[in-house]
Structure 1
Amino acid sequence: MATQPEGQKPADSKSEYRILSLWKKVKPYAFPRLAYELFLLSLKITFSMITASIRLIVPPPMKNLLGETVLISGAGHGIGKELAVQLAALGCIVVCWDNDVNANKSTLSTILNEGGEAYGFVVDVSKRLEVRETLRMMRKIGIPNISILINNAAILLHRPFLEYYPDDIEKTFNVNVLSNFWTIESCLPSMLQNGKGHIVSICSMCGLYGVTNKVPYCASKFAVRGLMDGLKEEIKMDRKKPKIYFTTIYPFYVDTGLAKDPKYRFPYLFGAVPPTYAAHEIIKAIRRNYSEYSIPRCLLFLDSINRVVPLSVKTLILDFLANNR
């Protein structure tokens, strides 16, 4: 039988000795500091809970958007068009991007006829070089730097998963996801330089929940949500602490013609809303610097509940609301 040489401690004893030595060094400082940090955390949590509760009753004041330069992708129709018209009425300089020439001209004409200031460009936002070149052209003709970016352009195809063509899936991600990267990549540097800005993404409740026959669309919207959350954390860690806000919008169903009206219980909550109303709600969220906002508003509270309860309970709630039997 092998024996341990005299004067040499076993390997386990050496490890224990090191741990005990380290513990002796840390022990006098660890507990008081940890207790202090936990106490401080509890105070911050309490303050945040009280503030959030008050904000449910008394929302934050709306900021003035007069003179802001707003870039809206997909401004030719639906929510994008209504956002452009309503923001122009608030005194914003509106830049309309769309790949539909006639639709974009229609939005531009509406704004100009009402006395607003707007510019229109035909852009395929899924193409990075086209996005960069258009912004370079905008700077060249003297359009101010973008202070509010609204990524609204999206496509939605409705069919069973196995019936999608590969080109359909690629196009969905190019327009719904990658375009957000290209526009943010081009607009964020000037926002960082100016120390302020606002980036808005028109996501969807499909970015929170999976929906049948919309698998690529749901996947793309989940990706947009991750982009916004990750970027917000990254900017928060910037030493210069720029005042750049991020707002992710989760509409349930807006009557834009992209999809059929889903039949849910309680149509007064889950029924289709017109683009005019959706745009009004989005602008309200922007002006109050909300990080997240759903249309209708109550759906974010429902999502908070669903994140806490067991998955089986969440499924029962969603099946009840969808009237699934």
Structure 2
Amino acid sequence: MASTLDLLRRHAAFRPLVGAGFSLWACYTLSQLLSRYAVRSYRGRGSWKWDKEVIVITGGSGGIGAALVERFISQGVTVVSLDIKPPPSTQVEVRDDKNRISVKKENNYHYYQVDLRSRSAVQEVVAQISATVGVPTVLINNAGLGSGRSLLDCDESSIRSIFDVNILSHFWLAQALLPAMIEADHGHIVSVASVASFVTIAGNIEYSCTKAGVMSFHEGLGQELKHRYGTKSVLTSIVYPYWVQTPLIQNMTTHPSFHDPLIGPEVVADKIVKHVMRGDRGGEIYLPWYGSLLAGIRGFPLWLQEFIRDSKAGMLRETTF
């Protein structure tokens, strides 16, 4: 490698390219360091004891959530899955006085059936988790709904459910779990957003609205933890996946008009697990990496923004999520 660089340096024609490449690398490295400092990276390293942490994952019965549950369990971490649907592997059911499946226990895995649309139900289940499993230190807001319908085809119930699950549940869970994290100055809240946070296409209005809301929630939460609550080690992260091969979009991805790249839920889960278990940084995760290019779409010329949106206009015309 060194001899190659020496060769390039000896040839005057290559010197500008070498200099430009080095400058770009230096700027990128500096930018990464500044970003990590801005989100308070490295302040939590050493404080995480993964055999004692409790991770709450919403939507843990399928898709990305199920992959997250499986991977964290395999690492020996205590995991609590919150979902309206029991996981397919449920064998032991323990019902509460309202006839809900309240707990499914298997070593370090706990399942609680809860309707995330209900603030009171969320408060009840968090109190139950804290009393019986332990005080949660990590929250991964992963649950999501979508319809793929045009605006005039969406009924009130569908729109409200999507907003309740995709964004309002983030508020209810944060309000229930943050006080303990702030008091201990120890915790991590991960919000699963989408590339749809930046690009809204026909047939996806309500979903994109909620995912743009998740982005704002993440940004505002980080600001309040820093400037209102004075925490130093409660981390916040956000994940922006592109199309993920989950049951949510199964109908769309099998349609002949769908040609976009797909990533598996296990790819997203692996990235999140690795990020969380580092224990030393918040920040942003784009999957695949080039999804970050769309984050700047709002700064593009209007004609280019419309070109990008128009190019995807037919994707949801004849199918729904």
Go from structure 1 to structure 2 and tell me whether the alpha carbon gap of 1:312 and 1:100 turns closer, same or farther (over 3 Å shift).
Answer: same
Q: CA deviation at 1:323?
A: 9.7
Structure 2 residue aligned with 1:300: 292
Go from structure 1 to structure 2 and tell me whether the alpha carbon gap of 1:237 and 1:95 turns closer, same or farther (over 3 Å shift).
Answer: same
Q: CA deviation at 1:322?
A: 7.9
2:58 paired with 1:79? no
2:234 paired with 1:234? no
Match of 2:116 among 106, 115, 125: 125
Q: CA deviation at 1:239?
A: 5.8
Contact 1:248–1:292 (Cα < 8 Å) also in 2:
yes
Contiguous gaps of at least 5 residues in structure 1: 1-46
Contiguous gaps of at least 5 residues in structure 2: 1-25, 36-40, 94-103, 316-321
What is the rounded CA distance, in whole Å, between the counterparts of 1:81 and 1:102 in structure 2?
A: 8
Match of 1:272 among 243, 255, 262: 262
Q: CA deviation at 1:284?
A: 2.9
How many residues end up aligned between the 2 structures? 267
Q: CA deviation at 1:176?
A: 1.0
Q: CA deviation at 1:261?
A: 2.6
What secondary structure sits across from 1:253 in the alignment? Answer: coil
Pairwise CA RMSD? 3.4
What secondary structure sits across from 1:258 in the alignment? Answer: helix
Match of 2:78 among 93, 96, 100: 93
What is the rounded CA distance, in whole Å, between the counterparts of 1:112 and 1:239 in structure 2?
A: 35
Once the two structures are superposed, the pairs formed by residues 304-319 of structure 1 within 5 Å of their partners are 304=296, 306-317=297-308, 319=310
Structure 1 residue aligned with 2:187: 197
The one-character-per-residue Cα deviations of 1:72-131 (angstroms, maximum 9, x if unpaired) are 0110111000001101112211011111125372799xx987xx5111111111111111
276-285 vs 254-263, greater mean Cα deviation: 254-263
What is the rounded CA distance, in whole Å, between the counterparts of 2:300 and 2:236 in structure 1?
A: 28
Give me the identity figure in percent.
Answer: 25
Q: CA deviation at 1:169?
A: 0.7
The one-character-per-residue Cα deviations of 1:169-212 (angstroms, maximum 9, x if unpaired) are 11111111111111111110010011011001111111121021
Structure 1 residue aligned with 2:30: 51
Contact 2:60–2:82 (Cα < 8 Å) also in 1:
yes
Match of 1:155 among 127, 145, 148: 145
Contact 1:247–1:285 (Cα < 8 Å) also in 2:
no
Go from structure 1 to structure 2 and tell me whether the alpha carbon gap of 1:66 and 1:48 turns closer, same or farther (over 3 Å shift).
Answer: farther
TM-score of the superposition, structure 2-length normalised? Answer: 0.73
Richer in helix (by share): 1
2:155 paired with 1:171? no
TM-score of the superposition, structure 1-length normalised? Answer: 0.72
Go from structure 1 to structure 2 and tell me whether the alpha carbon gap of 1:98 and 1:233 turns closer, same or farther (over 3 Å shift).
Answer: same
Match of 1:145 among 129, 135, 142: 135
Amino acid at match of 1:101: P
Q: CA deviation at 1:275?
A: 1.3
Q: CA deviation at 1:311?
A: 2.0
Query: Which structure's CA Rg is the greater one?
Result: 1
What is the rounded CA distance, in whole Å, between the counterparts of 1:175 and 1:239 in structure 2?
A: 26
What is the rounded CA distance, in whole Å, between the counterparts of 2:196 and 2:254 in structure 1?
A: 12
What is the rounded CA distance, in whole Å, between the counterparts of 1:130 and 1:252 in structure 2?
A: 31
What is the rounded CA distance, in whole Å, between the counterparts of 1:198 and 1:234 in structure 2?
A: 14
What is the rounded CA distance, in whole Å, between the counterparts of 1:252 and 1:168 in structure 2?
A: 23
